[in-house]
Amino acid sequence: MNINIYDQEISDGIADQISNNSIYCQSIAKTSEVLFPELKSLTDNELQKIGCSMAGNEGQFDLYNLESVLVSTGWNKNDDVFDRKELWLARETPEDKPFNFMHNEKDIIGHITGNRVVDKLGMEIQSEDDLPEDFDILTKAVIYKEWSDLEQRSRMSKIISEIEEGKWFVSMECLFPAFDYAMIGPDGEKSILERNEASAFLTKHLRAYGGEGEYNNYRVGRMLRNLSFSGKGLVSNPANPESLILSNESFSQSKSIILTTSSIKESYDMSTELENQVSILKQELSEAKVANEALKEKVVAEQKAEFESQISNLESSLAEKQEEVAKATEQAEEFKSSIESLNESLAKKEEELKDKEEAMMEKDKKLATMKKKEAMMKRKAQLSEIGFSDEDCEATIATFEDVSEEIFENIVATMKKKAEMPDFIKKKVEEKKEDEDKEDEDDKSKASDEEEALDVEAEAVESSEASLQNLDNQEEEADALRAYASNWFETSVLKSTQNLKEGE
């Protein structure tokens, strides 16, 4: 509930104090028998007849019943004034409100179960028509004794023991949205002045807001309006004397005169007025400075928030880029690793292929060697059939090693017709063998060797012819035999070989 605050009160610098529109009504925690000893001898039926029993929760082992004076009518030590009609209207507001420990709303130890209005003898008042000038409001509450938490149960047991020893107080919080001024003049006359813009200068004189509680020989108090009791707390002893509301003095609005604003005014001179204006200007300047600082802080905060947002966005973008780079690097590493793996696999495959090729070549080589050997054996058999010795067979085969089978068979057939191999061919075969041994020599050496071989061949032919014919005239026989050999080799061997080559 918000309370009205007037310009004069703002000027007086007490606006914040007024906005805290709650008070604590404190009294010692006792049972009704202790509060009113004269009721102790009465039975429950007698108490019920006079309306003094609130024993609805009595006998429940898990509850501890507690009754205390909430508030009394009149003027208390804090200069707060409780009017009889205001209290009567607020008498039921405490019911079903929480009962906490040391006004800590998070430490609930029980709840309020009921309220009753009693006169100063403890007799319950049932109707406003029977309402006396002075009375009390009593509240009945329960404290929870049984707890599943053993530590909390022990704590409650200790507190209850100390309550029975008179070491604890109960404190009720009272809320109010408005107040007026209760005043007692020098002559003891009681009066009420409405609080408004014109009378608000009196607020700063109230004790609740730091004043002395007096103005121009008048005692000034705060008469609370539209009361509502919002809760109850168990507080320790000794309590703050300023918060105690005990020993109320009788003060009834019905027995007070109603003052008007014009009947009581604040006395001041021009200097006071000037001081007030200066004070107001200072207040406005202070408020302007505060507003300016607030605006400055707001602008700085907004700029800072914008910069921080931009930095955050940049950092976020940088983080994303770094993440992308890291991801790309990781992919590159994976790709590099994959390439290396493929290269290793390829090298291994190439090595395996090379090994296979070498094995195949070796196999082909062996196969070629076998085929060649088989062909040589075949050729040797052919030559053996026409009467060649083993040595001649090998020499002839070596000489015609590079010719095809068809040409070789033709040569064999030609030789078969002549019955034997001429000596000059044998000589040629020997020369062929010598040429193979010297095949690495240069062209010049080869040419020279061929020349010498031809000379040797001629000599061999001449010798052979001379031997065969046994002629007396060596030169004529040599010429005739040379002509014969040349003609035979040309017509029988070379021509047949050439024809076979052309037919291939």
196: left (phi over 0), alpha (psi -120 to 50) or beta: beta
**Distance, CA of 377 to CA of 394 (rounded, Å):** 10
Strands (E) located in 264-390: none
**Distance, CA of 273 to CA of 34 (rounded, Å):** 56
Query: How does pLDDT run across 269-287, given as a tens digit for each residue?
Result: 434 444 555 677 777 788 8
Q: Please report which confidence band the pLDDT of residue 335 belongs to, taking 50, 70 and 90 as the band edges.
A: confident
SS3 label, residue 145: coil
| Average of per-residue pLDDT across 418-447 | 61
Q: Please report which confidence band the pLDDT of residue 166 belongs to, taking 50, 70 and 90 as the band edges.
A: confident
Q: Is the pLDDT of residue 300 over 90?
A: no
Q: Please report which confidence band the pLDDT of residue 56 belongs to, taking 50, 70 and 90 as the band edges.
A: low
CB atoms within 10 A of CB 181: 24
> Nearest CA to 152 among 143, 165, 142?
143
Q: Under a CB-based contact definition with an 8 Å cutoff, are residues 69 and 35 in contact?
A: yes
3-state secondary structure 436-489: HHCCCCCHHHHHHHHHHHHHHHHHHHHHHHHHHHCCCCHHHHHHHHHHHHHHHH
DSSP secondary structure code for residue 240 in this structure: P
pLDDT of residue 55: 47
Task: Please give the angle made by the CA atoms of 11, 13 and 19, to the nearest 5 degrees.
Answer: 110
The residues pairing with 221 across neighbouring beta strands, listed in sequence order, are: 182
User: Lowest mean pLDDT: which of 39-48, 315-324, 349-358?
Assistant: 39-48
Q: Please report which confidence band the pLDDT of residue 427 belongs to, taking 50, 70 and 90 as the band edges.
A: low
DSSP secondary structure code for residue 244 in this structure: B
- In the chain, the percentage of residues whose pLDDT exceeds 70 is 69
User: Lowest mean pLDDT: which of 346-360, 385-399, 441-455?
Assistant: 441-455
Sorted by sequence, the CB contacts under 8 Å of residue 271 that are 6+ apart come out as none
pTM of the complete model beyond 0.85: no
Omega cis (within 30) before 132: no
Q: Is the pLDDT of residue 311 over 80?
A: yes
Estimate the crossing angle of helix 270-385 against helix 390-399, to 10 degrees.
130
Q: Is the pLDDT of residue 182 over 90?
A: yes
Q: Please report which confidence band the pLDDT of residue 499 belongs to, taking 50, 70 and 90 as the band edges.
A: low
User: Mean pLDDT across the chain, nearest whole number?
Assistant: 76
pLDDT of residue 29: 61
Widest pairwise Cα distance in the chain? 201
| Average of per-residue pLDDT across 403-412 | 82
What is the residue extent of each domain of the chain?
Answer: 7-267, 386-503
261-289 per-residue burial string, b: 16 or more CB within 10 A, e: under 16:
eeebeeeeeeeeeeeeeeeeeeeeeeeee
DSSP secondary structure code for residue 137 in this structure: E
pLDDT of residue 416: 75
